[in-house]
Amino acid sequence: MQRINDPSLPPRIVAVYFGEGAASEGDFHAALNIAATRSCPVVFICRNNGYAISTPTLDQYRGDGIASRGIGYGIDTIRVDGNDVWAVREATKKARQMALQDGGKPILIEAMSYRVSHHSTSDDSFAYRARVEVEDWKRRDNPISRLRKYMEAKEIWDEAKDKEAREGIKRDVLKAFSQAEREKKPPIRAMFEDVYEELTPELRAQMQELRDYLERYPDEYDLGEYEGGKNSLDS
């Protein structure tokens, strides 16, 4: 849309990331159909890692993965080894080129991978899959270890560089944590914004109700942690 108003802008696409579990939702099918019929330059990137939280692909579908769904909607589709960094890079570059052809069109990428970590910090994945399964994938087909082996074979990486990188990254992360912890949290008002351009009467009423509550119980909350304190709730 921007290029219609300003043709001098470089061509752009939109990249959308999701898992194979999300592809079982109705929104996925609606998005693909609309993108196809409207010729939208969107690259849909599905990370098929074998599990939708605790649901394995065997319980999600019987068809040929997610790639076949793109074809069903008339969308050019690429399936790639999601654990191969270079293959994913090449597939993504190709998908972008294809998405900009013929005035714009959607492309679907299905990156076949495996989720070695838990779904989230509240998830214990060993409750629904064997630990030996995870360890086997870590050992034989992990994108990081595969990339490392490639770089070592090209003599551009070794144990010394790996140790130096890990130590440096750890220092940077700890420094960033320390800096972030000293910063104030966003204004309390932020929880009411970023949805409507102007606050609705209902949101304004809720915001005033929260301010009244905070004034009633001033010792229960450390409002100094937030930018502007309770004053950020002023209309």
The pLDDT tens digits of the residues spanning 63-81 come to 899 999 999 999 999 999 9
> In total, how many domains does the chain have?
2
- Tell me what the mean pLDDT of segment 24-43 comes to: 97
Q: Is residue 53 part of a domain?
A: yes
Domain CATH for 98:
3.40.50.970
SS (H, E, C) the chain: CHHHHCCCCCCCCEEEEEECCHHHCHHHHHHHHHHHHCCCCEEEEEEECCEECCEEHHHCCCCCCCHHHHHHCCCEEEEEECCCHHHHHHHHHHHHHHHCHHHCCCEEEEEECCCCCCCCCCCCHHHCCCHHHHHHHHHHCCHHHHHHHHHHHCCCCCHHHHHHHHHHHHHHHHHHHHHHHHCCECCHHHHHCCCCCCCCHHHHHHHHHHHHHHHHCCCCCCHHHECCHHHHHCC
Q: Which of 73, 91, 112 is the last residue of a domain?
A: 112
The pLDDT tens digits of the residues spanning 138-194 come to 888 889 989 999 999 999 999 999 999 999 999 999 999 999 999 999 999 999 998
Predicted pLDDT of residue 110? 98
Q: Which domain holds residue 46?
A: 2-112
The pLDDT tens digits of the residues spanning 36-47 come to 999 999 999 999
Q: Which of 112, 136, 170 is the last residue of a domain?
A: 112
Q: What is the pTM of this model?
A: 0.77
Q: Which of 89, 112, 135 is the last residue of a domain?
A: 112
Q: Tell me: do 105 and 9 sit in the same domain.
A: yes
With cut-offs at 50, 70 and 90, classify the pLDDT of residue 234: confident
